Amino acid sequence: MLRIECCGDDTLRVDIDDGSQREAVAQHLRSFGTWIECVAGMRMVVVQFDSAKVSVEAARSRLEQQLSSVPAGTQAASPSIEIPVCYGGEFGPELQSIGEVLGLTPDALVAMHTSREHIVELVGFTPGFAYVAGLSEDANVPRLTEPRQRVEPGSVGIAGGLTGLYALAGPGGWPLLGRTPLTLFRPEQAQPLLLGVGTRIRFVAIDEASYWRMAAQ
């Protein structure tokens, strides 16, 4: 049985570690149409109810009943995508300093980042910003002491053991490894987010000429 905890006067939290299962559970709960909000977050699914009409106890009972009908072992489809990244230079000004923190040369850092599969754990902060797991536990890089006033769309950073992908321009404090030419937020499309919870990612290193060629497409 999945563990349920209160996390506010009108919200309940279901703890789920697996990202693809988390999104599948969220989709299942949304299908009932009984929650104000149902959001897959970092290692949890959170549901919001109208506390003026439903008690916490009644909401918990409803949630337990709905969770009991989730098919055993259910998982959302986990799409896989390659993300090209131009590492270093103007796109990744902290590549050198991140490597120094981790005891890696820039080339070794890029090799480490591109040699493993990553998975999107959470999308938020700004539309399309993806928090991506997949780094080793010791890759715990601190955020910048002074955040930038503007980070360009497509920027790829590392902080707190995660990779972060900026979908929109704006302020940010993640040390930057590089930048992808892919458009991560496409508001004109029916599915505006390129990356969702559970998406599996392989980062692929490209050179600057390839970056500008792909960005122009």
Global pTM reads 0.78
State how far the Cα of 68 lies from the Cα of 62, in Å rounded to an integer.
10
Dihedral of alpha carbons 14, 124, 146, 139, sign: positive
Longest CA–CA span in the chain (Å) reads: 59
In the structure encoding, which two tokens stand for residue 196, read together? 């969702």
What pLDDT is recorded for position 182? Answer: 97
b (16+ CB within 10 A) / e for 57-67: eebbebbeebb
In the structure encoding, which two tokens stand for residue 178, read together? 């590089």
Burial tier of 27 (Cβ tally within 10 Å: 0-12, 13-18, 19+): middle
In the structure encoding, which two tokens stand for residue 111, read together? 């090799």
What pLDDT is recorded for position 164? Answer: 96
What pLDDT is recorded for position 70? Answer: 82
State how far the Cα of 146 lies from the Cα of 149, in Å rounded to an integer.
9
In the structure encoding, which two tokens stand for residue 35, read together? 């929650």
What pLDDT is recorded for position 76? Answer: 55
Q: Which residue, 75, 32, 41, 19, is CA-closest to 11?
A: 41
What pLDDT is recorded for position 69? Answer: 86
In the structure encoding, which two tokens stand for residue 34, read together? 């009984």
What pLDDT is recorded for position 132? Answer: 94
Domains of the chain by start residue, with CATH: 4-68 (3.30.1360.40), 80-215 (2.40.100.10)
What pLDDT is recorded for position 75? Answer: 58
Q: Which residue, 137, 194, 132, is CA-closest to 165?
A: 132
State how far the Cα of 132 lies from the Cα of 180, in Å rounded to an integer.
15
Q: Which residue, 81, 162, 82, is CA-closest to 125?
A: 162
What pLDDT is recorded for position 121? Answer: 86
pLDDT less than 50: residues of the chain: none
